[in-house]
Amino acid sequence: MTSTFRTTRRTREQLRREIPGTAAVLADPHDFATMRRYRTFPFDDHTRYLRHLEDHLRTRTAKGVRTTLTLFDPDAYAEYCQELGLDPDTTDSRARYTAELACTGATVPYAGEPLAELLPLLVEETGRQIAWDRAATRLAEAGTCPDCDEDLSHTAFALATQALKELLDGLGDGTHHLVCSIPAGAPPLLAALRITSEEGRHHLSESESLTFCTVLAAGIAHRTPGGIVSRSTRPQPQPDDGTATPHDTVRGWTLRDGWPEPLTAAQVFTAYCTDAETGEPIPPEHQVDHTAGFPLTRPPETHRC
């Protein structure tokens, strides 16, 4: 009898490790405050809430249970409950919404790290997915050319991919940070891409590159204005005293007639050293060169209808 009980308990523990879970976290204090309007929400202090959550996650991890994290959005949750006719002031509704996020939302795996380190990554991944969703919708709205029936979204994405390839090849070895910005209502579409290049080999995130190309393609398809900025850090010769400091180079391009055209060094300086909200000048950073963008070869198949 005891042997059977132990075997059953071990089997249940093994099964628990085989079933991963998802935790939806209120990373923002404002979102946490919004959830406090629900009577069944048991927390009243954001810092203590995060500490309890971290303790719970570490306990699960110590037992071999895998957990992914996703962001809990109170406004989206309220809409979700309204659409499905659910009472938002129940733990069952919150659990159902979290399960939905596990399938459709941005997630990051938890492996015992401090939440203070992991939450910024989760916020970034969530923003990337939102940007991709908006850009993909905007790209699909391009439809087909009324004159030649060409799929404008497909053509634009192929052009964006070609432009990114030329950018990476032209930037050369080093660590690069690219940002593409396309006006598309408020807020604008933004995509960031980090690359490490060495001897012609480029190391980059597949999800970041997909989002970057989709945002750029949305601008190309609709012939909207927009821009690309690159910031590159290249290895510098090591001086005898060992005091080498990073030296960055900033370049820029503007979308013109559905293709990125290089900015001059003066235009790059003006764009990079101006506050986007106030229009006031910003002092240039030390050890940063503002350099003209290099030309990107427009493919001959660029849509011209």
Helix, strand, or coil (residue 1): coil
Selection from 66, 134, 77 nearest residue 100 by Cα: 77
Residue 75 has a CB neighbour count (10 Å cut-off) of 9
Least confident span in 56-60, 110-114, 246-250: 246-250
Strand partners, 227: 181, 254
Helix pair 46-62, 115-140: axis angle to 10 deg: 100
Average pLDDT over residues 128-147: 85
pLDDT of 146 > 60? The answer is yes
What are the tens digits of pLDDT across the range 31-51?
A: 999 999 999 999 999 999 999
Strand partners, 32: none
Indicate the pLDDT class of residue 70, thresholds 50, 70 and 90: very high
Q: What is the mean pLDDT of the chain?
A: 84
What distance in Å separates the CA atoms of residue 258 and residue 277, rounded to the nearest whole number? 26
- Look at residue 5 in the predicted model and tell me its pLDDT: 45
Of residues 28 and 238, more confidence is placed in: 28
Q: Which residue has the tokens 């990125």?
A: 260
CB 253 within 8 A of CB 271: no
pLDDT of 65 > 80? The answer is yes
pLDDT of 236 > 70? The answer is no
- Look at residue 15 in the predicted model and tell me its pLDDT: 42
Burial of 66 (0-12, 13-18, 19+ CB in 10 A): middle
Helix H or strand E segment including 231: strand 227-233
Q: Which residue has the tokens 């401090």?
A: 114
Quote the DSSP letter at residue 127.
H
Of residues 272 and 235, more confidence is placed in: 272
Of residues 200 and 218, more confidence is placed in: 218
Q: How far out from the chain centre does Cα 279 lie?
A: 27
What are the tens digits of pLDDT across the range 90-136?
A: 999 999 999 888 888 888 899 888 999 999 999 988 989 888 999 99
Indicate the pLDDT class of residue 301, thresholds 50, 70 and 90: low
Q: What is the 3-state secondary structure (H, E, C) of 157-196?
A: HHHHHHHHHHHHHHHCCEEEEEEEEECCCCCCEEEEEEEE
CB 160 within 8 A of CB 213: yes
Average pLDDT over residues 228-254: 76
Least confident span in 126-140, 215-229, 276-290: 276-290
The proportion of the chain whose per-residue pLDDT surpasses 90, expressed as a percent, equals: 48
What are the tens digits of pLDDT across the range 177-212?
A: 999 999 877 788 899 999 998 877 889 888 899 999
- Look at residue 243 in the predicted model and tell me its pLDDT: 54
Indicate the pLDDT class of residue 289, thresholds 50, 70 and 90: confident
What distance in Å separates the CA atoms of residue 137 and residue 102, rounded to the nearest whole number? 22
| Phi, psi of 249, deg, nearest 5 | -125, 130
Selection from 283, 298, 286, 287 nearest residue 253 by Cα: 298
Selection from 99, 92, 23 nearest residue 57 by Cα: 23
Instruction: Provide the terminal-to-terminal Cα distance of the chain, rounded to the nearest Å.
Output: 80
What are the tens digits of pLDDT across the range 250-271?
A: 999 999 988 999 999 999 888 8
The phi-psi region of residue 174 (left if phi > 0; otherwise alpha if psi is between -120 and 50; otherwise beta) is left
- Look at residue 184 in the predicted model and tell me its pLDDT: 79
The proportion of the chain whose per-residue pLDDT surpasses 70, expressed as a percent, equals: 85
What distance in Å separates the CA atoms of residue 36 and residue 32, rounded to the nearest whole number? 7
